Every structure is written in structure tokens, then in C-alpha cells.
Amino acid sequence: MQIKGVLFDFSGTLFRIEPVRSWLRAVLAERGVTVGEADFERYVSELEAAGALPGGPSPRHVPARLAAAYATRDESAELHREAYTGLARQVELPDPGLYDALYERHRTPAAWRPYPDAAEVLGALHDSGTRIGVVSNIGWDLRPVFRAHGLDHLIEAYVLSYEHGVQKPDSRLFHTACTFLGLDPAEVVMVGDDRHADGGAAALGCDVRFVQHLPVEERPGGLRTLGLVQGVA
């Protein structure tokens, strides 16, 4: 198969969210809230268990009152905020303004790091004439993250679940992305880290390739190994 287009997932594939510890520390500093080390460590542990950081650890338990919003969280900006601020509010933090501040922090470019080989692989694909799209289950506009990290000029199309009211693995999202690129799905590879969500592209006839969902430091060359571009491995 000649690859004419590649679709990439965002979180865990091209970029990785910061750890809960630095997420919380940044927001506490921003709001001028001081806590003792023991309390800080407790907040980190409880926020991790709650799954309060989008793109971070999954919730160990989703309360019944949040179950519906969490299940459909990526279908709208409102549901996404409701789900994640609701999960965070299970943790008793010292300032009630912290819940919204934490949510806002995760939407900033500073909270995200590209994987070490992301720029290289995207650049090589772009230079070879391969069309590139991003398909993400997300509740906010990630385009500023790509711009801030100097990668936006390499992306031809963004298909974000909250803008279309459907989330992966729904094949409609992948079909929309292929249409935006002007390509038949059989000419397109979908790259992601979630075999359930990203694997939905296979129903259209896309080839699907996976990377491991790992911290940035532990996956320096995962994208390079996928055989997307000759000479990049």
C-alpha cells in the first residue's frame, strides 16, 4: 500500500500531558496557594486516583453522578469540563478556585510535551508530500498546542471529537478526516495509542498502527519504528 495520508491521535501519541505532580504544583504557584509537603503529596495521590487530569491516569472509580458525562466527555466542551472538574472535586483541595484552574492549566501548551521524534516524523512525512491529519477525542481546541511547539504548519486537518459531537472509535470521525485530506481510507494510516478508540479506523479500511502510551522519557523513538517514512526508523 502506498501511504498517501497519515492520521495521528494527539494525547499519548504525538504529545504527552505533564505529570499530576507538576500540574498541581504549577497551579498552586499560579494562585499563590502554599501547602505543606505532606498535604501536597496527598493531593497528588488523590488526584491521580480520581483520574482528574485529562490525558493522565484513568479514574480508579467514576462516581455514578458523573458516569454519563464521563462516558461521553469528548462529545462536547461542556461535558468534558463537567466530567473532569467533577472528578477533581472528589479531592478536598484548600482553595475552591483550584478545580477550574487545574482544568484550565491542562489546556495550555505549557502542560504538554511532544514526544522526542514527533517533529522529525511529522516533518519527514510533510516533506515527502504525505498529507497529515490529527484525530482526537478531546473537549477543547488543541491547535494552540501545536502552534506553540512549532508543529502546526505540518498539519493539514484537525478532526476533534467535541467539534463533531462524536468520539472515537466511531468511524464517522475517521471518515471526516479522510474526506478533509481528500483521500480514500485505504490510502491512509491511523496512528494511535488506544487499540479500542484508534482501532475504529480499521472499519473504514485504514491501516492502523500503534505506539505505546508511555512518558516522554520512556518513548524516544516510538513513532520512528512504525515505517511511515522511508529512511526514518
Beta strand 15-17 with 112-114: parallel, antiparallel or unpaired? antiparallel
* pLDDT for the residue numbered 2: 81
pLDDT tens-digit profile of 48-92? 999 999 999 999 999 999 999 999 999 999 999 999 999 999 999
* pLDDT band (50, 70, 90) for residue 230: confident
In 3D space, the residue among 195, 190, 191 whose CA is nearest the CA of residue 205 turns out to be: 190
Residue 233 confidence (pLDDT) above 60: no
* pLDDT for the residue numbered 77: 98
Query: What are the grid coordinates assigned to 25, written together?
Result: 504544583
Interacting residues of 92 by C-beta distance below 8 A, sequence separation 6+: none
What string of DSSP letters covers 170-220?
Answer: -HHHHHHHHHHHT--GGGEEEEES-TTTGGGGGGGT-EEEE-----GGG-S
Q: Spell out the SS3 assignment of 29-66.
A: HHHCCCCCHHHHHHHHHHHHHHCCCCCCCCCCCCCHHH
pLDDT tens-digit profile of 176-190? 999 999 999 999 999
What phi and psi values does residue 54 have, to the nearest 5 degrees? -60, 130
pLDDT tens-digit profile of 150-161? 999 999 999 999
Give the whole-angstrom CA distance, residue 190 versus residue 201.
7
Query: What are the domain boundaries of the chain?
Result: 5-16+113-226, 17-110
209-229 core/surface letters (b: 16 or more CB in 10 A; e: else)? bbbebeebeebeebbbebebb
Query: Is residue 47 within 8 Å of 90, Cβ to Cβ?
Result: no
Predicted structure pTM score: 0.96
Calculate ∠ Cα 184-190-196, nearest 5°: 120
Query: What are the grid coordinates assigned to 35, written together?
Result: 501547602
What is the percent of the chain where pLDDT is above 70? 98
pLDDT tens-digit profile of 88-119? 999 999 999 999 999 999 999 999 999 999 99
User: Which CATH fold would you assign to the domain 5-16+113-226?
Assistant: Rossmann fold (3.40.50)
Average pLDDT across the chain, whole number: 97
Residue 18 has what DSSP assignment?
A: P
